[in-house]
């Protein structure tokens, strides 16, 4: 039974890796051009799809420019070029039912094979003259209804993230596992301060080592993700900066431990520092970035945290198990380190006894 959590952790990680990499993304709209149009003209919008089947579903293919939750403009003609390319013809009225000079519109497409897909802020329409009352008269509203659902399991397609959305199962789940490992280290540190047991100290430093390892892996996977979505592996985002500071604080933990020769003094100082480091990390990762308006990270700087925008129910089937898998795997690694430290101590005691004899 003592090996159950190890086997379970490995199996869960294998499931997360396999499903996370093999399940396809939902059909989506990669690009629509032109992105800037004017009122009172007929415009052809070229669409590039991703994982789409425009040709196979040509008979049922429909498209709309969505102004708001109540108003949408249907495409007058849909011309399919290939499975991933189509041209949509819209007649933009002379006036819009809006007082904004420039109005952004989302593009909605639907067919029986792909289901529905949306490209937010697909085009920006500039009004030559603003007259909302006249706009309500000339606007040919078309309700977006009877949308199709795509069969099968897919991950959501997000135009900015693309295939990199799969990094959620690595980057984000590693950070959660890191928190659990460092939280366990704090628990063991508090236990040491209460009971003065060096076994507790060994456990505290072992969980800290695994937690920092997961933190480094989290930074590395985050840099790969940032390079794809933000254009650079390190863009000095506030959460990137505070994360670097948090890891430096934990690096100092190991330096501090090694600066003392007395085992009891080393353990006591390290235990107190571990509590300080954990509290600092929480402030640096989850409090300070939320006070800034400039962070690009979800959940910070006004950006929504992972929810309906980026993490749907299909992804949760992989994401939450990945957190459990990394946590169990990290516990296994920590226990391996703990056993290695015990063996090292036993060897040192044996050596000392032999020298005394």
pLDDT tens digits, one per residue of 80-111? 999 999 999 999 999 999 889 999 999 999 99
Q: At what angle do helices 171-195 and 198-229 cross, to 10 degrees?
A: 160
pLDDT of 288 strictly over 90: no
The radius of gyration computed from the CA coordinates of the chain, to the nearest angstrom, equals: 28
pTM of the entire predicted model: 0.86
Per-residue pLDDT, 263: 87
**Residue-wise DSSP of 194-251:** HH--HHHHHHHHHHHHHHHHHHHHHHHHHHHHHHHHTSSS----HHHHHHHHHHHHHH
Locate tokens 């007929």: which residue?
Answer: 42
Report the alpha-carbon distance of residue 254 to residue 297 in Å, rounded: 29
**Three-state secondary structure call for residue 293:** coil
Report the alpha-carbon distance of residue 339 to residue 160 in Å, rounded: 45
pLDDT of 16 strictly over 90: yes
pLDDT tens digits, one per residue of 19-72? 999 999 999 999 999 999 999 999 999 999 999 999 999 999 999 999 988 899
Residue 348: strand pairing partners: none
Q: Identify which of 182, 220, 189, 194 has the alpha carbon closest to the alpha carbon of residue 334.
A: 182
If you average pLDDT over every residue of the chain, what do you get? Answer: 90
Neighbours of 191 (CB within 10 A): 17
Q: Residue 34 to residues 54, 90, 121, 221: CA-CA distances in angstroms?
A: 19, 12, 12, 34
Per-residue pLDDT, 78: 95
Residue 73: strand pairing partners: 65
pLDDT of 213 strictly over 80: yes
Q: Tokens for 112, please give them.
A: 């029986």
Secondary element (H or E) of residue 8 = helix 4-22
Greatest mean pLDDT among 74-83, 141-150, 221-230 lies in: 74-83
Q: What is the mean pLDDT of residues 338-345?
A: 85
| Contact between residue 93 and residue 141 where contact means Cβ atoms under 8 Å apart | no
Q: What is the mean pLDDT of residues 130-153?
A: 88
Give the pLDDT band of residue 209 (cuts 50, 70, 90): very high
Report the alpha-carbon distance of residue 15 to residue 324 in Å, rounded: 12
> Residues 188-197: contacts with CB within 8 Å, 24+ apart?
189/270, 189/271, 189/272, 189/274, 189/275, 190/271, 190/275, 192/267, 192/268, 192/271, 193/268, 193/271, 193/272, 196/264
pLDDT of 141 strictly over 80: yes
- More reliable by pLDDT, 297 or 195: 195
Per-residue pLDDT, 50: 95
Give the pLDDT band of residue 229 (cuts 50, 70, 90): confident
Per-residue pLDDT, 35: 93
Per-residue pLDDT, 150: 83
- More reliable by pLDDT, 352 or 58: 58
Q: What is the mean pLDDT of residues 199-204?
A: 93
**Three-state secondary structure call for residue 42:** strand
| Contact between residue 346 and residue 48 where contact means Cβ atoms under 8 Å apart | no
Q: Tokens for 283, please give them.
A: 């402030």
Report the alpha-carbon distance of residue 131 to residue 135 in Å, rounded: 6
Per-residue pLDDT, 303: 52
Span of 73-77, 168-172, 230-234, 307-311 with lowest mean pLDDT? 307-311
pLDDT of 207 strictly over 70: yes
pLDDT of 293 strictly over 80: no
pLDDT of 292 strictly over 80: no
């Amino acid at each position: 039974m003592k090996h159950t959590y190890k086997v379970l952790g490995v199996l869960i990680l294998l499931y997360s890796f396999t499903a996370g990499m093999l399940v396809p993304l939902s059909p989506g709209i990669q690009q629509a051009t032109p992105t800037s149009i004017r009122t009172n003209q007929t415009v052809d919008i070229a669409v590039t799809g991703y994982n789409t089947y425009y040709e196979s579903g040509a008979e049922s293919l429909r498209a709309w420019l969505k102004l708001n939750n109540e108003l949408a403009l249907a495409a007058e003609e849909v011309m399919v070029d290939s499975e991933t390319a189509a041209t949509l013809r819209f007649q933009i009225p002379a006036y819009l039912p809006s007082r904004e000079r420039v109005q952004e519109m989302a593009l909605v497409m639907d067919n029986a094979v792909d289901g529905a897909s949306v490209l937010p802020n697909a085009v920006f329409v500039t009004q030559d003259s603003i007259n909302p009352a006249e706009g309500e008269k000339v606007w040919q509203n078309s309700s977006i209804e009877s949308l199709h659902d795509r069969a099968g399991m897919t991950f959501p397609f997000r135009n900015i993230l693309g295939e990199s959305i799969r990094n959620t199962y690595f980057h984000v789940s590693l950070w959660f596992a890191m928190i659990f490992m460092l939280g366990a280290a704090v628990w063991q540190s508090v236990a040491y301060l209460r009971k003065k047991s060096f076994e507790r100290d060994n456990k505290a430093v072992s969980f800290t080592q695994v937690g920092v390892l997961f933190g480094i892996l989290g930074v590395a996977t985050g840099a790969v993700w940032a390079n794809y979505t933000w254009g650079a592996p390190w863009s000095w985002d506030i959460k990137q900066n505070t994360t670097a500071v948090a890891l430096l604080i934990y690096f100092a933990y190991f330096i501090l431990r090694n600066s003392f020769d007395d085992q009891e003094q080393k353990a006591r100082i390290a235990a107190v520092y571990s509590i300080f480091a954990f509290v600092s990390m929480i402030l640096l990762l989850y409090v300070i970035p939320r006070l800034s308006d400039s962070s690009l990270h979800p959940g910070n700087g006004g950006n929504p945290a992972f929810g309906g925008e980026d993490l749907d129910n299909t992804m949760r089937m992989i994401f939450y198990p990945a957190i459990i898998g990394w946590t169990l795997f990290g516990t296994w690694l920590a226990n391996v380190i703990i056993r290695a430290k015990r063996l090292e101590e036993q060897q040192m005691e044996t050596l000392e006894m032999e020298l005394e004899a």
